[in-house]
Amino acid sequence: MPAPQCASCHAARAALRRPRSGQALCGACFCTAFEAEVLHTVLAGRLLPPGAVVAVGASGGKDSTVLAHVLRELAPRLGVSLRLVAVDEGISGYRDAALAAVRRQAARWDLPLTVVAYADLFGGWTMDAVARSTAGSGRSRACCTFCGVLRRRALEEGARLVGATHIVTGHNADDMAETVLMNFLRGDAGRLARGGGLGSRGEGGALPRCRPLQLASQKEVVLYAHFRRLDYFSEECVYAPEAFRGHARHLLKLLEAARPSAALDLVHSAERLALAPAARPPPPGACSRCGALASRALCQACALLDGLQRGRPRLAIGKGGGARDEEGPPPPPPSDPGSAPGPADGECGAACKERCE
């Protein structure tokens, strides 16, 4: 059966149906519409003012590739200049191949590329070393928690190195939907209170960050990359199967089968969450060690690294209370192998209830 006509230009044959609306479009019209939507998000959300120097967090994956490509197309209209910043976490067998893809992209697009490595920034700690360090406790590794925090720190450092005024990352609607589901399942009220917008304004000296692709669904990102024939690295991180996010991702897949707009509905819910003032994080100050933005005495990155250095990697994970200070209290007692890695044992009263039942 021949494909219907493109609903936009009515000239070419449609090459795809948009996942959310079911509209039949040809490749060129779809890409145009996608770019127009991203432009609208940036303009309506006032994310990137003219004259900004934008550091694009490039991992070599589909989201950051599409983001960089679209911003490069829109850069003249927005009046911004782009720099690529790639982060080398030191995950062998994964990151090296991804970085190769980033280098190819930088060469093709003629954009300046800066690579920052964990090993240089964080005193020799690569993600492989972190994973080895957190592996022994019997619970799942939680190295993704480390990676996320340290990567944001690294991105900030890299952006400063290139003189950027804004940071953009390629998070799409599915990512945001998974995040809100995950935060509820883990009881992370602080992150729920902070999240939901298109980015952060950048208080306390941190660079403003935003996510122009936040309202685009993952399927559309993949379709865009397909139609623009973009070269990206598509394998999963070697530590990804152990992440809690996998549960949220699985749930989102199920929800999208029942209702195609589930991802955007979740993003809408996240935008409108209202949390009690007590649950919100305190107004940010500066880390006493590195001067970065921090809600407590030490920023999360310094706290995590501190734990690693002291041989107590779980020190700053979960709501350990006084674990942020220089002289930390003794670590929490080892918990059952089967319990959740998320909420710490003292915080969630259900830990003792399980044993009674």
Partner 1 sequence: MPSAGEAWRDCFRAFYIHKFRAVLGKNRLIFPGEKVLLAWSGGPSSSSMVWQVLEGLSRDSAKRLRFVPGVVYVDGTCPVVSTRRLRRVAPRTWPYPILGSPVVMIPFCLHLEGAACGQSREDRAKTLSDVKRILQTLGFPWHVVTLEEVFALPPSVLRCSAPEPVGTVGTYKVAVDSFLQQQHTLEAEGVGDSPSSAQGEAQPSQPCTQDPQNLAEPPPAAQTEALSRLFDSVKTLTAKEELLQTLRTHLILHVARTHGYSKVMTGDSCTRLAIKLMTSLALGRGAFLAWDTGFSDERHGDVVVVRPMREHTLKEVAFYNRLFAVPSVFTPAIDTKAPEKASIHRLMEGFLLRLQAQFPSTVSTVYRTSEKLVKAPRDGCASGPRCLLCMCSLDVDTADSATAFGAQTQDFSQMQPPTPLAEAGAPTVPCRSAEVGRAPNCCQGTRPCRREDSRARVIKQLCYGCRVNMKDVPSLDPLPPYILAEAQLRSQRLSPEIQEYLLENSDDRAHASGSGAWGPPEDGGEEGQTVCDCINKNIFN
Which residues in the 202-231 window bind partner 1 by CB under 8 A?
215
Q: Are 129 and 147 in contact (CB under 8 A)?
A: no
Nearer to partner 1, 17 or 296 (CB): 17
Using the contact rule CB under 8 A, the part of the chain among 71-79, 221-229, 275-283, 312-320 near partner 1 is 275-283
Q: CA–CA separation, 14 vs 6, rounded Å?
A: 4
Among all chains, which residue has been given the structure tokens 């989102």? 252
Which residues are bridge partners to 200 per DSSP?
Answer: 209
- Taking CB under 8 A as the rule, does residue 30 contact partner 1? yes
- Taking CB under 8 A as the rule, does residue 273 contact partner 1? yes
Binders of partner 1 in range 185-204 (CB under 8 A)? 185-189, 192, 198
Q: Has 87 been labeled as part of a binding site?
A: yes
Count of residues of this chain found to bind partner 1 when the rule CB under 8 A is applied? 72
Q: Which of 181, 206, 305, 316 binds partner 1 (CB under 8 A)?
A: 181
CA 41 to each of CA 142, 176, 199, 256, 280: distance values in angstroms, whole numbers, following the listed order: 33, 15, 12, 23, 27
The backbone torsions φ and ψ at residue 161, rounded to the nearest 5 degrees and listed phi first, read -60, -40
Using the contact rule CB under 8 A, the part of the chain among 57-65, 154-162, 256-264, 288-296 near partner 1 is 256-264
Among all chains, which residue has been given the structure tokens 């602080």? 190
Q: What is the DSSP code (8-state) at residue 334? A: P
Q: Has 88 been labeled as part of a binding site?
A: no
Nearer to partner 1, 127 or 180 (CB): 180
Q: Has 102 been labeled as part of a binding site?
A: no
Using the contact rule CB under 8 A, the part of the chain among 18-26, 224-232, 233-241, 294-302 near partner 1 is 18-26
Binders of partner 1 in range 44-73 (CB under 8 A)? 44-45, 47
Using the contact rule CB under 8 A, the part of the chain among 36-44, 94-102, 284-292, 302-310 near partner 1 is 36-44
Q: Has 57 been labeled as part of a binding site?
A: yes
- Taking CB under 8 A as the rule, does residue 251 contact partner 1? yes
Q: CA–CA separation, 65 vs 155, rounded Å?
A: 16
- Taking CB under 8 A as the rule, does residue 7 contact partner 1? yes
- DSSP per-residue codes, 90-108: --TTTHHHHHHHHHHHHHH
Nearest distance, CB of residue 115 and partner 1, angstroms: 31
- Taking CB under 8 A as the rule, does residue 240 contact partner 1? no
- Taking CB under 8 A as the rule, does residue 20 contact partner 1? yes
- Taking CB under 8 A as the rule, does residue 354 contact partner 1? yes
Residue 172: which of 80, 79, 34 has the closest Cα? 34
Query: Encoding tokens for residue 294?
Result: 């921090």
Q: Which of 76, 272, 326, 327 binds partner 1 (CB under 8 A)?
A: 272
Q: Are 55 and 157 in contact (CB under 8 A)?
A: no
Q: CA–CA separation, 47 vs 52, rounded Å?
A: 10
Using the contact rule CB under 8 A, the part of the chain among 151-159, 163-171, 183-191, 309-317 near partner 1 is 183-191
User: Residue 22: helix, strand or coil by DSSP?
Assistant: coil
Q: What is the DSSP code (8-state) at residue 319? A: -
Among all chains, which residue has been given the structure tokens 């029942």? 258
Binding residues: 57-59, 63, 87, 170, 175
